[in-house]
């Protein structure tokens, strides 16, 4: 870990202003990822701006604007508090399931909602400074492309980067069409639709997302929806808890009689960003919620997968996970 300056911000404006003034500054919230990365010499900020004192922790019903009736989750609230808030548990159980599927209780007690969006890939080649990695050091190449890439992407990767986004919470938020609210310099605010927030690697894998330097996530908004009774977060992993997803699926359905009127499917562990299974979704709208239809939809999505040497299993696993996720959602999350 390199020496750095520690600054504590007491309001969002000062935090953003301080960060904007220093291209090598980073925000410190829960610290569950940035501190590890600094210890490993992967991140080398020369200033950490502590934003934990900022009053951006509430979970509340949105009473105005486009997402009226939806919920706003404070960017600096803790994951545990978001998962357990009655508004989330009652109206967005998919989000609760996804949050508690991630990490451990202890880590979720520290980790913040905004920070969770920005956690970085767990690709070994990214973490090991002796390895080439375009994400860590642009231009050095991708170690994982022809390396041990079992945990890597099958959708949307480029020859410059095959890393995956590691989180769970964001997969549910992608399915729920959330919006990320950020504050930029001079107090400007903007809203970023969730699926536009994280990026595919392309030739700039060093950019995980579309947050500009200095911008701070103030809240995450989820529009009102009718998925609460029929949603499920399925996470397939190498051990029962405390492991990143091999593949995960956030599935949500809204029925009109026997027909599917709305469906959301997002996948984790398969891409550089939370992957919305739009091909599968398209296939299902207006159809009966049958296993056969779910399978056909899963096939449609997974036929576009491009696996690497060690992660070919993710194509079949993804197919099964979509079907299982949808079946579980239909059954109200019960087996």
Partner 1 sequence: MIKTNVIGKPIDRKDGRAKVTGAAKYAAEFGVNNVAYAFPIRSTIGNGTITKIDTSAAEKAGGVLTIITPDNAMRLKTLGNPMELMKVGGLLGEDILPLQDSKVNYFGQYIGLVVAETYEQARTAAEMVEVTYAKLTPAIDLKTEIPKAEMPKTSGFGAPAQLNQGKTESIIKSSPVKIEQTYTTRTENHHPMEPHATIAVWDGDDKILLYDATQGVKGVQGVVSYFFNLQPDNVRVMSPYVGGGFGCKGGQWGHILLAAMAAKTVKRPVKLAITRNMMSTNVGRRPETIQTVALASDKNGKLKAMRHANTSYKSFSNYYEESGKQTKVLYAADEREVTYKIAKLNVGAPTFMRAPGETPGTFALESAMDELAVELKIDPIKLRMINHTAIDPETKLPFSLENIVECYTIGAEKFGWANRKSQPRTNREGKYLVGHGMATATYPAIRSTASVKVQIFANGSVKVLSATQDIGTGTYTIMAQTLADALGVPVEKITVEIGDSSLPTAPVSGGSTTAVSVTTAVLVGGEMLKKDLMALALKDSKSKLNGRNESEIEFANARFYVKGDTSKSDEYTDILKRNGKEMMEVCASSVPQNGGGLSGLFAPCSTEQFNSEEDADAKKYSFHSFGAQFAEVMVDEDTGMIRVSRFTSVQDIGRVLNEKTARSQIIGGVIYGLGQTLMEETQYDKRWANPIQRNLGDYHVPCNLDVPKIDVHFIGKPDPHISPIGARGIGEIGITGVAAAVANAVYNATGKRIRDLPLTPDKLL
Tokens 């109206």, located at residue: 91
Binding residue for partner 1 (CB under 8 A) from 11, 66, 242, 291?
A: 242
In order of 44, 151, 189, the CA distances from 21 in angstroms are: 17, 37, 18
Among the candidate windows 15-23, 192-200, 262-270, 310-318, which touches partner 1 by CB under 8 A?
A: 310-318
Q: What is the DSSP letter of 242?
A: S
> Counting contacts by CB under 8 A, is residue 46 touching partner 1?
no
Are 261 and 285 spatial neighbours (Cβ–Cβ below 8 Å)? yes
Nearer to partner 1 (CB atom), residue 63 or residue 242: 242
Whole-angstrom Cα distance, residue 304 to residue 101?
27
Among the candidate windows 69-77, 201-209, 243-251, 292-300, which touches partner 1 by CB under 8 A?
A: 243-251
Binding residue for partner 1 (CB under 8 A) from 30, 75, 77, 147?
A: 147
Among the candidate windows 45-53, 174-182, 225-233, 316-324, which touches partner 1 by CB under 8 A?
A: 316-324
> What is the nearest approach in angstroms of partner 1 to the Cβ of residue 131?
6
Q: Write the burial class of residue 55 (CB in 10 Å: 0-12 exposed, 13-18 middle, 19+ buried).
A: exposed
> What is the nearest approach in angstroms of partner 1 to the Cβ of residue 127?
7
Nearer to partner 1 (CB atom), residue 13 or residue 141: 141
Q: Write the burial class of residue 83 (CB in 10 Å: 0-12 exposed, 13-18 middle, 19+ buried).
A: buried
Nearer to partner 1 (CB atom), residue 159 or residue 224: 159
Residues in contact with partner 1, counted by CB under 8 A, come to a total of 36
Are 12 and 54 spatial neighbours (Cβ–Cβ below 8 Å)? yes
Tokens 């239809």, located at residue: 293
> What is the nearest approach in angstroms of partner 1 to the Cβ of residue 121?
12
> Counting contacts by CB under 8 A, is residue 317 touching partner 1?
yes
> Tokens standing for 111?
């980790």
Exposure on the CB side of residue 304, measured as CA atoms within 13 A? 15
> Counting contacts by CB under 8 A, is residue 234 touching partner 1?
yes
Nearer to partner 1 (CB atom), residue 59 or residue 234: 234
Q: What is the DSSP letter of 251?
A: E
> Tokens standing for 247?
């593949």
> What is the nearest approach in angstroms of partner 1 to the Cβ of residue 308?
13
Binding residue for partner 1 (CB under 8 A) from 285, 316, 331, 332?
A: 316
Are 54 and 18 spatial neighbours (Cβ–Cβ below 8 Å)? no
Nearer to partner 1 (CB atom), residue 44 or residue 207: 44
In order of 93, 147, 220, the CA distances from 208 in angstroms are: 27, 21, 18
Q: Write the burial class of residue 62 (CB in 10 Å: 0-12 exposed, 13-18 middle, 19+ buried).
A: middle
Nearer to partner 1 (CB atom), residue 138 or residue 141: 141
Of 82-141, which residues contact partner 1 (CB under 8 A)?
A: 122, 124, 127-131
Of 26-45, which residues contact partner 1 (CB under 8 A)?
A: 40-41
> What is the nearest approach in angstroms of partner 1 to the Cβ of residue 209?
21
Q: What is the DSSP letter of 185?
A: G
Whole-angstrom Cα distance, residue 34 to residue 118?
10
Nearer to partner 1 (CB atom), residue 87 or residue 243: 243
User: Which residues of the shown chain bind partner 1 in the complex (CB under 8 A)?
Assistant: 1-3, 40-41, 122, 124, 127-131, 143, 146-148, 150, 234, 236-244, 246, 313, 316-317, 320-321, 323-324, 335
């Amino acid at each position: 870990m390199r020496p750095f300056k520690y600054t504590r911000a007491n309001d969002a404006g000062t935090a953003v202003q301080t960060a904007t003034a220093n291209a090598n500054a980073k925000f410190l919230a829960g610290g569950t990822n940035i501190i590890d990365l600094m210890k490993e010499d992967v991140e080398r900020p020369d200033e950490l701006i502590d934003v934990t004192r900022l009053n951006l922790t509430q979970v509340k019903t949105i009473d105005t604007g486009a997402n009226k009736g939806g919920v706003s989750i404070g960017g600096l609230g803790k994951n545990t508090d978001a998962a357990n808030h009655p508004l989330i548990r009652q109206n967005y159980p998919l989000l609760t399931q996804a949050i508690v599927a991630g990490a451990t209780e202890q880590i979720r007690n520290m980790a913040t909602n905004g920070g969770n969006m920005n956690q970085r890939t767990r690709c070994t080649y990214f973490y090991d400074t002796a390895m080439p990695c375009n994400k860590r050091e642009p231009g050095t190449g991708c170690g994982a492309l022809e390396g041990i890439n079992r945990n890597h992407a099958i959708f949307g990767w480029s020859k410059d980067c095959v890393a995956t986004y590691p989180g769970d919470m964001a997969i549910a938020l992608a399915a729920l069409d959330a919006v990320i609210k950020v504050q930029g310099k001079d107090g400007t605010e903007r809203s970023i639709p969730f699926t536009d927030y994280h990026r595919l690697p392309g030739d700039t894998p060093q950019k995980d997302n579309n947050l500009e330097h200095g911008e701070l996530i103030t809240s995450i908004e989820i529009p009102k929806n009718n998925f609460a009774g029929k949603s499920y977060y399925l996470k397939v992993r190498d051990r029962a808890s405390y492991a990143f997803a091999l593949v995960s699926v956030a599935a949500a359905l809204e029925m009109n009689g026997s027909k599917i009127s709305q469906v959301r499917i997002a996948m984790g562990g398969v891409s550089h960003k939370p992957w919305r299974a739009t091909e599968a979704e398209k296939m299902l709208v207006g159809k009966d919620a049958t296993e056969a239809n779910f399978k056909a939809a899963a096939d449609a999505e997974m036929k576009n997968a491009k696996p690497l040497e060690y992660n070919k299993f993710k194509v079949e696993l993804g197919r099964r996970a979509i079907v299982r996720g949808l079946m579980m959602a239909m059954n109200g999350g019960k087996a």
